[in-house]
Amino acid sequence: MATNTFAPTSVQATPDLPILGTSSHVAVIGAGAFGGWSALSLLRKGIKVTLIDAWGAGNSRSSSGDETRVIRSTYGANSFYFDMNVRALELWKEHEQRWNKKLFYNTGVLWLCYEEKTPIVDDSIPFAKRHSMEYEYLSKSDLQKKYPLVQTDDLHHGWLDSHGGYLKARESCQAVLEGFIAEGGTYIQAFVQPGQISSGSMQGVQLSNGTHLKADAYIFACGSWLGYLFPEVLGNVITCSKQEAYYFGVPRSQSRQYDAMPVWVDVDGQDFYYGIPGNANRGFKIGVDRRGAKFDPTDGERISDPAVLAHARAFIAHRFPGLKDAPLVESRVCPYENSPDGNFVLDKHPEAGNVVFLGGGSGHGFKHGPALGEHVAAVLGG
Ligand SMILES: Cc1cc2nc3c(=O)[nH]c(=O)nc-3n(C[C@H](O)[C@H](O)[C@H](O)COP(=O)(O)OP(=O)(O)OC[C@H]3O[C@@H](n4cnc5c(N)ncnc54)[C@H](O)[C@@H]3O)c2cc1C
């Protein structure tokens, strides 16, 4: 066994994976954003799909289980993720209509830039032009006029991407699962234990309901659990960190003004605070993209770290002075499923040709779910 030396292939490369014909049966383990959308897309290729999740689609332990997630195309000079997000956005809109459920909130995404040059946004501008999704440049005085709730002293300018916004996260996972079942997929709620590997294949998986399931291929889309399920192969590859999101209560006299703000990202080059005002009426949500402590996604207690909260409070008091004394109305601890370089992983088990790993969302995977699922189905479904 290649102990912890496995270097997984990123989804950007076309990996050498099993090809599934329409008579094949595939088991997808994990009904989060990655597994749910992949199961649905494979089903639409005519493949028999069984989707299994230990605690249900969008459950509170999963990375996809928060209330909301940002959707933005901006990825610096990385056109792969820009393009994937453009396709994802199309599919989110299409499925909202199909399922008659509002999942995407087109609030726009406001980038708060400290320097004249901000590569994460600047380098995406050619892609935005290519897709006719231009951003609006906002000088400091434009920012002050348009967003008086934002303190701009240390900012140089802003960019408004009017095409982005936020998605309902856990509700989307449930909608995908309902769609999957309505279109003929089989769903089982059970914990899956990977089975024995012999002659280059996994010989079935063991379910916590006592059954043994045999399929032609197994896609493990288990988010933060991948490293725990395959410790020898992925233990040091997919790592789980504790991330916190806080929902603050806005002043009662200005609730509408705060809710009307776009999603924002503070490009300070270190913490990367971001926020989802309104956040489906749950409070003014803020998160930070800095990696937290190592976390156990099954048994880890979901309690905020006072030091991380204090840091977030200091930030919000600085950037939104009107929220200096805002009460915390809710908070969440959520796991990041980090890959070594932040890229999504799509690869096969080094010793079992019928086992596929799908994960490594690394704090930015949710929005891509539908386009990633389509990609997985195109690669595996022939
Ligand atoms: C705080 C935070 C903020 C984020 N912000 C954004 C954002 O703004 N925009 C964005 O696009 N992305 C964001 N992300 C990242 C995004 O949420 C994840 O990349 C994405 O949800 C990963 O989906 P997944 O399906 O791989 O994992 P998960 O959602 O964790 O799903 C894995 C599923 O597998 C199941 N499972 C695990 N092991 C087993 C087993 N053995 N048997 C059966 N089932 C099993 C679990 O129950 C779970 O439902 C954020 C993440 C966090 C934590």
Q: How do residues 101-154 score in pLDDT, each as one tens digit?
A: 999 999 999 999 999 999 999 999 999 999 999 999 999 999 999 999 999 999
**243 C-alpha to ligand 1 centroid (Å):** 12
Cα–Cα dist 137/158, whole Å: 6
> Which domains, ranges and CATH numbers included, belong to the chain?
106-165+240-336 (3.30.9.10)
State residue 90 phi and psi, 5-degree precision.
-60, -45
**374 C-alpha to ligand 1 centroid (Å):** 18
Residue 296: per-residue pLDDT: 97
What is the SS3 assignment for 43? helix
Pocket of ligand 1 (CB under 6 A): 29-35, 52-55, 59, 62-64, 69-70, 191-192, 221-225, 229, 243, 245, 287, 334-337, 359, 361, 363-367
Percent of the chain, pLDDT > 90? 93
Residue 25: per-residue pLDDT: 98
* Mean pLDDT computed over 183-190: 98
Q: Is the pLDDT of residue 1 over 70?
A: no
3-state helix, strand, coil in the chain (%, to 5): 30, 30, 40
Q: Which two tokens stand for residue 219?
A: 């896609």
Cα–Cα dist 160/9, whole Å: 34
Q: Which two tokens stand for residue 295?
A: 């976390």
Q: How do residues 305-364 score in pLDDT, each as one tens digit?
A: 999 999 999 999 999 999 999 999 999 999 999 999 999 999 999 999 999 999 999 999
Nearest to 168 by CA among 118, 106, 120, 216: 106
* Mean pLDDT computed over 85-92: 98
pLDDT-derived band at 4, boundaries 50, 70, 90: low
Q: Is the pLDDT of residue 78 over 90?
A: yes
CA 33 to chain centre: 7
Cα–Cα dist 182/171, whole Å: 16
Site to probe by mutation for ligand 1, drawn from 225, 273, 357, 368 as the one with most ligand atoms within 8 Å of Cβ, is 225
Site to probe by mutation for ligand 1, drawn from 37, 68, 69, 305 as the one with most ligand atoms within 8 Å of Cβ, is 69
CB 61 within 8 A of CB 300: no
